[in-house]
């Protein structure tokens, strides 16, 4: 996902950020922890009343995620 944040520090007035995220119900907290521990990067935050998100935002940390999916592409019909 690409995020846009309004910021006076940038000439165009916005900061562009690359973000990888997985959103799950809060009952799946242990699964999100396993994912975070596997990759060794990212954070888990509360998002809404019943949802949690695993987020990776830094370019350095996103490289870990991208490298994994380059080596092990998803096999899916979607």
Query: pLDDT grade, residue 46 (50/70/90)?
Result: very high
Residue 26 forms part of a structural domain:
yes
What is the model's pTM? Answer: 0.81
Structural domain contains residue 17 = no
Question: Taking 70 as the threshold, does the pLDDT of residue 40 lie above it?
Answer: yes
Instruction: Measure the CA–CA gap between 28 and 51, rounded to whole angstroms.
Output: 9
CATH number for the domain that contains residue 75: 3.10.28.10
In a domain, 40, yes or no: yes
DSSP 7: -
Q: How is residue 55 annotated by DSSP?
A: E
Q: Mean pLDDT across the chain, nearest whole number?
A: 93
Q: What pLDDT shows up at residue 78? A: 66
Q: Residue 47 falls within a domain, yes or no?
A: yes
Is residue 75 assigned to a domain?
yes
Q: Is residue 9 part of a domain?
A: no
Residue 49: domain span: 22-78
34 found inside a domain: yes
């Amino acid at each position: 996902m690409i995020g846009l944040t309004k910021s006076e520090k940038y000439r165009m007035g916005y900061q562009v950020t690359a973000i990888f995220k997985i959103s799950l119900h809060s009952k799946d907290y242990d699964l999100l922890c396993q994912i975070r521990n596997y990759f060794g990067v990212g954070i888990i935050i509360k998002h809404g009343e019943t949802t949690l998100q695993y987020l990776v935002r830094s370019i350095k940390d996103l490289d870990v995620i991208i490298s994994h999916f380059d080596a092990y592409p998803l096999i899916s019909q979607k």
